[in-house]
Amino acid sequence: MHHKPIPPLDGQSDVKGKCDVLRNALFLTVNTVLRPSLPPNLLTSTKDLCQQTRQVTRAEIHLAIIHLKYGTSVGPDKITYDTLQRFNEAVPLLLPHLFTVCLAYAVHPPEWKTANCVVIPKPGKKSYSHPKSYRPISLLSCFGNLLESIVA
């Protein structure tokens, strides 16, 4: 983990200034032009895919859990892969049921799509005083990552 303070970036030495410099350099500017609203049926699923979806099995959950990258950082919910593994061992029928229902009703909870963005230094740079010496990573919910792994 990088414990050294970030040097001044583009002349900014306070935290807010450095954050603004990194945000402007690493993330595209949001286009503020008004767009037509999306139809409501695209925002919330009302599909019932029960007839097209099969049950997620305990074996699929187990296989997905053993292939997770343990020791990685967690998302906003602070639930780790270790926690999911222990939860699955304690109540082995709950995760298959939860993910089956999510797939059957085409639901991906918004909490599982929320991410923490962390900016980390790129290794081997001569100077860390430029915003391009850093890269952003998104830390998503482990529940969402597990569901995506099962679907994949």
List the chain domain ranges.
Answer: 46-110+142-151
**142 Cβ contact partners less than 8 Å away, ≥ 6 residues apart:** 68, 74, 75, 77, 79, 80, 81, 83, 84
Cβ atoms < 10 Å from Cβ of 23: 14
Q: Phi, psi at residue 138, to the nearest 5°?
A: -105, 130
pLDDT of residue 42: 53
**pLDDT tens for residues 13-36?**
888 988 888 888 887 666 666 666
At residue 99 the predicted structure's pLDDT band, cuts being 50, 70 and 90, is very high
pLDDT of residue 38: 58
Distances (CA, A) of 138 to 73, 100, 152: 10, 26, 19
Say if residue 150 is exposed, middle or buried (CB neighbours under 10 Å; 0-12, 13-18, 19+).
buried
**pLDDT tens for residues 38-85?**
566 555 666 666 677 789 999 999 999 998 888 788 888 999 999 999
Residues in the chain: 152
Provide the whole-model pTM.
Answer: 0.68
Residue type, 107: V
Rounded Cα–Cα distance for residues 18 and 129 (Å): 10
Shortest CA distance to 144 belongs to which of 105, 121, 115, 101?
Answer: 115
